[in-house]
Structure formats: structure tokens, C-alpha cells
């Protein structure tokens, strides 16, 4: 499918396609006595997080991936649970849900997830492998950005991709994936002076800041394809990091909700099935 000027790059059709192939592969593995199984470790009462975990569990059920949600409340509890899961041959995929208990760091705790089970690319080993061009599961959100751009046949080779946000879970891995596809990549963050001057140079603009409507029409040039990763709870409902008025300027824009989000969940489950297949 090709992006048309001013078009909305919905993720729903792509997510449906990914779910269909994932369900077929999961059924084959289950028939061969190797049912795919995901474990989600969570240590928070945060309602947004709980809702995300429920959505993963129900999406998993729909594609035939078993999903266990394991609750604990401390960093030690997380470490002990992850250590058990690392050795459990029945579990092929492990996710550590954020937010974490005060003082606990995702990268630190996620070192306990072996790369072959790290289906959301959370451990430093996975990010390091990604940066080194070695096989690894990328964080599903970062991969979803690339999957959407590919789905709409957005050219990356030799184009200028600007990523706003440098988190370990989205911005940095997205930048690595864009670089692997021969884009010229600029990463911006909260200390970048004159953000609009840089983002206006983008052929492809990826925004992952967690700041609702940070990017306005003044940040975007005609011809730019914009991928909005942000999911922000506002009094008016879920909002992206990109103001809706950008649609009038940009060549194409992903919607929130319905853009990166559904593709992310679909890819996460595909990773679990791939991990099961590779577990042999
Ligand atoms: P983080 O808070 O970890 O990182 C935010 C990044 O944005 C930081 O690098 C920060 O810069 C940068 N930033 C913040 N404010 C500005 C600003 N004014 N100008 C430029 N850069 C800025 O967030 P995440 O990466 O975890 O998530 C980003 C967004 O993506 C959130 O809305 C989150 O909900 C969403 N998300 C969506 C997913 C999906 O499936 N759709 C999955 C995961 C996340 P600095 O480093 O300098 O602080």
C-alpha cells in the first residue's frame, strides 16, 4: 500500500495481517506439542499499565498464545520471578511491565531475561545486539514504527529520518532500525535547541516523547511522513505527541489511537511465536 499526500497511516489493517500469520503459526506449534507461552511480570497498581496488560492478554488469547500475568511488588520479587522464568522451558517469552517500584531500573532488572526470551527487547543485551547488527528481538514499539513505514512503502534509504525522543525502549532502538535501513538519522531530545528547525528537515519524523501535542504544524514540512508513537491520557481521551493540525501539513500521519499501538501488540505476540519456533 502506498501513502497518499495528507493520508492517515492506520495500523489496523497491518495489525490484522500480522495477527493472522501469528495465529496460524501458533496453531502449528501447538499441534506439534509446543504451545507458545508468554509471561508478563508486573509490580504496579497503575491503571494505565493494568489496562495495557489486559489488552496484551486478550490479544494473546485471540492468536492462540497462552499468557500468564505474574504479580509482585518489589524489585527483589521481580528478580526472583524473572530468574524462575528464565529457566522455565514452558515459557518462551517474558515481558517486564513498567512502571517499576521506586529505585528499580528497567535495564538493570531486565538483564535477567535471556535474549532468546526477551520478546520486547528490554535487556541491555538485546539493545546491544541490535546496535551491533546481531539477531535480537527489537522493542516491539520501535519495530512497529518500521513495519508501518514499510507497509505504506515509505522510502527510507538515503532519506533524513528525525527521531524525537531517546529512550531505551523507543527512541534509540527506532534510530538503530532506521539506520539499518540506510536512513540518515538525527535524534532529538529535551535539550535540543530549536527543535522545529531540525524536525522541519525530516523526510520521516518519528515522535516518542510522552508530551501530548508537542509537535505542531510549525515542526513539519510538506512532504514529511510523521509517525506518532505517543500515547497520552488527557481529559479529552487518548492523545498522541503530534497535534492533529499537523495532518494538514504533513504528507502522511499515523493516528492515535489506531496507528503504532495495534501494530506493537501484534508484533509482540509474533515475537513470542518466533521465540517458540526457535526454542526448537
Ligand atoms: P520516555 O519518557 O522514556 O522518553 C521520552 C523522551 O522524549 C526522552 O528522550 C525525552 O528527552 C524526550 N522529550 C521529552 N520532552 C521533550 C521535548 N519537549 N522536546 C524534545 N524531546 C523531549 O518515554 P518513552 O520513550 O517510554 O515513551 C514515549 C511515548 O511513547 C509515550 O507517550 C509512551 O506512552 C509512548 N509509547 C507508546 C507505545 C505504543 O505501543 N504505542 C509503547 C511505548 C511507549 P530527554 O532524554 O532529554 O529527557
Domains and CATH numbers, the chain: 32-117 (3.40.50.10860), 140-261 (3.40.50.720)
Burial of 153 (0-12, 13-18, 19+ CB in 10 A): exposed
Is 80 exceeded by the pLDDT of residue 3?
A: no
**Predicted confidence (pLDDT) at residue 280 exceeds the cutoff of 80:** no
CA 133 to chain centre: 18
What pLDDT does residue 46 have? Answer: 85
Gap from CA of 192 to ligand 1 centroid (Å): 14
- Protein residue closest via CA to atom 5 of ligand 1: 209
Q: Please check whether residue 225 is in contact with residue 251, taking contact to mean a CB–CB distance below 8 angstroms.
A: yes
pTM above threshold 0.75: yes
Cα end-to-end span (Å), the chain: 35
Q: How far is the CA of 59 from the centre of ligand 1 (A)?
A: 25
Question: Ligand 1 — pocket residues by CB below 6 A?
Answer: 141, 164-167, 169-171, 188-192, 195, 208-211, 214, 229-232, 260-261, 264
In the prediction, which pLDDT does 45 show? 86
Q: Whose CA is nearest to atom 30 of ligand 1?
A: 230
Model confidence pLDDT, tens digit, residues 54-111: 999 999 999 999 999 999 999 999 999 999 999 999 999 999 999 999 989 998 999 9
Measured in angstroms, how far is the CA atom of residue 165 from the centroid of ligand 1? 5
List, for residues 131-190, the tens digit of each pLDDT value: 999 999 999 999 999 999 999 999 999 999 999 999 999 999 999 999 999 999 999 999
Chain centroid to CA 19:
15
Dihedral Cα 255, 159, 122, 43, nearest 10 deg: -30
Separation of CA 36 from chain center:
20
Q: Average pLDDT over the chain, rounded to whole?
A: 95
17 CA distance to ligand 1 middle (Å): 28
Q: Give the whole-angstrom CA distance, residue 42 versus residue 56.
A: 13
Amino acid at each position: 500500500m502506498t501513502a497518499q499526500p495528507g493520508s492517515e497511516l492506520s495500523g489496523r489493517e497491518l495489525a490484522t495481517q500480522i495477527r493472522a500469520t501469528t495465529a496460524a503459526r501458533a496453531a502449528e506449534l501447538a499441534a506439534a506439542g509446543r504451545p507458545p507461552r508468554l509471561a508478563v511480570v508486573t509490580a504496579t497498581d497503575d491503571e494505565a499499565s493494568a489496562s495495557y496488560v489486559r489488552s496484551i492478554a486478550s490479544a494473546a488469547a485471540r492468536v492462540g498464545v497462552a499468557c500468564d500475568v505474574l504479580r509482585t511488588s518489589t524489585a527483589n520479587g521481580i528478580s526472583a520471578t524473572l530468574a524462575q522464568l528464565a529457566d522455565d522451558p514452558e515459557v518462551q517469552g517474558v515481558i517486564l511491565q513498567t512502571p517499576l517500584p521506586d529505585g528499580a531500573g528497567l535495564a538493570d532488572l531486565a538483564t535477567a531475561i535471556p535474549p532468546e526470551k526477551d520478546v520486547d527487547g528490554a535487556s541491555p543485551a538485546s539493545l546491544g545486539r541490535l546496535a551491533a547488527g546481531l539477531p535480537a528481538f527489537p522493542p516491539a514499539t520501535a519495530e512497529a514504527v518500521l513495519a508501518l513505514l514499510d507497509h505504506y512503502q515509505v522510502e527510507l534509504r538515503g532519506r533524513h529520518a528525525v527521531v524525537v525522543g531517546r529512550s531505551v525502549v523507543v527512541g534509540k532502538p527506532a534510530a538503530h532500525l532506521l539506520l539499518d535501513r540506510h536512513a540518515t538519522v538525527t535524534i532529538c531530545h529535551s535539550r535540543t535547541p530549536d527543535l522545529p528547525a531540525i524536525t522541519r528537515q525530516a523526510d520521516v519524523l518519528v515522535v516518542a516523547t510522552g508530551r501530548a501535542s508537542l509537535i505542531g504544524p510549525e515542526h513539519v514540512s510538506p512532504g514529511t511522513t510523521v509517525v506518532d508513537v505517543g500515547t497520552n491520557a488527557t481529559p479529552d481521551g487518548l492523545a498522541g505527541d503530534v497535534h492533529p493540525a499537523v495532518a494538514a501539513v504533513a504528507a502522511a500521519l499515523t493516528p492515535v489511537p489506531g496507528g503504532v499501538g495495534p501494530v506493537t501488540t501484534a508484533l509482540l505476540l509474533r515475537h513470542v511465536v518466533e521465540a517458540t519456533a526457535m526454542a526448537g
